[in-house]
Structure 1
Amino acid sequence: MSDDANLIERFLEMLVAEAGVSRHTLSAYQTDLEQASAIFGGRLSSADRDAISRLSSHWRALQNSTVARKSSSLRRFFGFLVEEGFRDDDPSDALPRPGLSRSLPKTLSHAEIASLFQLIAEDLGRAPVKASMARLAAIMELLYGSGLRASELVALPRSSITGDKPFLIIKGKGDKERLVPISQQARSAVRRWAEFVDPQEKWLFPSRTGHISRVRLFQIIKEHAARAGISPAKISPHVLRHAFATHLLEGGADLRALQTLLGHSDISTTQIYTHIDSTRLVELVNNRHPLGQVDLAR
């Protein structure tokens, strides 16, 4: 099996496990990726920006909607390759964008987040505390409280949070390290969960064969959402990461600080969050800009 075929297969498996895409959507992704791979002689996964930019000529006769779909498929595929460490750069900005605007990331409201954590607090208030509840509390505190990626969370060593250190050292995309602040509440949740983990374990969230998989992490989050009365389709570890970023921005966080916390190498990736809280930004201009205090009709 070629590299492209193997990586496309793994990508499709991820779509089924983590995104729950339909059979029709999965077939469309597979067709788009296999056709693009054929154009590059089976080397789509390693194609650079110059090569990717030449896809426009191959797709010239197609309708804009078809080009948009193909670009979306490849964009998500390259994002997967970077997320999983199969390549260090994402060349998808060279893909055709036929009149499309970038979609906003899904997020959760403050009320929905409150309901998720209220249910956890109720579960932890029942003695004795179950291991599954202690694990869930630690997972939620780290995903929403620190904005970790799913891949970063599942691979946390058991020793990653020790003593009173107010931060984690995370190895993210491209093996780049960053400091992630950890709240006292998150440290308490992790310490509670660590009591259920064998001190000899390598991983903070172990399984029988290593650490828990991203698929299992998605299942845990979605099961909890259903119990809290939130549609499982609305939530994922990545949605919690987006909620972390959105709510920090709403609270007045600086965009550069948010870029550091999320581990974005390019500020343009972080800037998408400026479109989410438009109401607060309008109020900021009206209330703080000098002209906002002047009645020009007088």
Structure 2
Amino acid sequence: MDMLIDQFIHYLAVEKGLAANTLESYQRDMIAFTTFLREQGIERIEDSTRTLIVAYLLSLQEKGRATATLSRNMASIRAFYQFLVRDKLLDHDPSLHLETPKIEKRLPKVLSVEEVERLLDSPDLSQPSGLRDKAMLELLYATGIRVSELVQLHVGDVNLEMGFLKCMGKGSKERIIPLGSMAIHVVRQYMQTGRQKLLKQSEERALFLNHLGKQITRQGFWKIIKRYARLANVRAEITPHTLRHSFATHLLENGADLRSVQEMLGHADISTTQIYTHVTRTRIKDVYAKTHPRA
């Protein structure tokens, strides 16, 4: 089964062109599933059954896993079996017609404009790391890119003269996103001063560097934004996607059209972007309730 997982991941990487993070997710899901099969005495994938797949999902549910986790595992298992049948490594697909657990769509946490400003004003610009942190936060809010896309940016991906950046999103799809004047100013300041002080090897191309002069990690950024949220007294729950959600919501609140926001976020399906219209409607209701004299 381990060899089949390796072949499956290779197929996803080479033929589907999936991103490294997505490949890791598939691999993690399949290792967990095949470990469960072995615990049930199943050593060959052809001996797995529909009943065992359901039992595995139920075991995840009993462990308190979220519906989204169950849904992702089901998608991974289904893709795995489809690959095996397609390559004639298996003659039937036991996951066929199994229902995927329905995910309850939760509205994303969004900061107010005032909270965003307090967060962005928190870094100490007298320090190279402060300049870097300010540039990262400004860039996230200015473009709505994912944290994984932010940390993978290279120096050549940002064109400050023309005012745009290019990033590689999910499925290795490249997109071009405009930059605002504040983001341009802060990123230029970081590149001219902060990055030079953090740089250890001249050939390093990563835009955002840690104290070792290497590309900063998603985990590193996660610690950074949590620290600044505390400094800025932002009480809302902060996640790595908070500024991305706030970017989209604030654009729509100020009249941006849904298609443009979809393009900038890199959503393949506009239905994914539409969740932000629910957020704006909720916020409009709150404003109405607080301000209308007869509400």
| TM bucket, shorter chain | 0.5 to 0.7
Q: Return the TM-score normalized by structure 2.
A: 0.64
Q: Distance in 2 between matches of 1:236 and 1:206?
A: 21
Aligned-pair CA distance for 1:57? 7.8
Quick check: 1:264 aligned with 2:282?
Answer: no
Read off the aligned partner of 2:188 and give its amino acid letter: R
Read off the aligned partner of 2:215 and give its amino acid letter: H
Name the residue aligned to 1:74.
70
1:132 to 126, 129, 132: 129
Matches within 5 A, 1:108-187: 108-120=111-123, 123-124=124-125, 129-187=126-184
Aligned-pair CA distance for 1:161? 2.2
- 1:175/1:117 CA distance change after superposition, 3 Å: same
Aligned-pair CA distance for 1:140? 0.7
5+ residue gaps, structure 2, are 10-19, 77-97, 197-201, 287-295
Quick check: 1:201 aligned with 2:204?
Answer: yes
Name the residue aligned to 2:226.
222
Q: How many residues align?
A: 235
Read off the aligned partner of 1:34 and give its amino acid letter: A
1:249 to 248, 252, 260: 252
Aligned-pair CA distance for 1:210? 3.4
Q: Distance in 2 between matches of 1:268 and 1:67?
A: 31
Helix, strand or coil at the partner of 2:167: strand
Deviation string, structure 1 residues 2-24 (Cα, Å, up to 9, x no partner):
4869x9xx99xx99xxxxxxxxx
Quick check: 1:58 aligned with 2:54?
Answer: yes
Q: Distance in 1 between matches of 2:57 and 2:131?
A: 56
Q: Which moved more, 1:30-39 or 1:167-176?
A: 30-39
Helix, strand or coil at the partner of 2:189: helix
**Contact 2:109–2:242, Cα closer than 8 Å, also in 1:** yes
Aligned-pair CA distance for 1:71? 3.8
Read off the aligned partner of 2:205 and give its amino acid letter: K
Name the residue aligned to 1:107.
110
Read off the aligned partner of 1:74 and give its amino acid letter: L
Aligned-pair CA distance for 1:101? 2.8
Aligned-pair CA distance for 1:203? 1.1
Helix, strand or coil at the partner of 2:274: helix
5+ residue gaps, structure 1, are 16-29, 45-53, 81-93, 284-298
Matches within 5 A, 1:7-18: none
Read off the aligned partner of 2:113 and give its amino acid letter: H
Q: Distance in 1 between matches of 2:72 and 2:130?
A: 33
CA RMSD of aligned residues (A): 4.3
**Contact 1:158–1:201, Cα closer than 8 Å, also in 2:** no
Q: Return the TM-score normalized by structure 1.
A: 0.64
Read off the aligned partner of 2:162 and give its amino acid letter: K
Name the residue aligned to 1:213.
217
Q: Distance in 2 between matches of 1:238 and 1:79?
A: 23
Aligned-pair CA distance for 1:272? 1.1
Aligned-pair CA distance for 1:111? 2.4
**Contact 1:59–1:67, Cα closer than 8 Å, also in 2:** no
Helix, strand or coil at the partner of 1:252: coil
Helix, strand or coil at the partner of 2:177: strand
- 1:56/1:243 CA distance change after superposition, 3 Å: farther
- 1:138/1:97 CA distance change after superposition, 3 Å: same
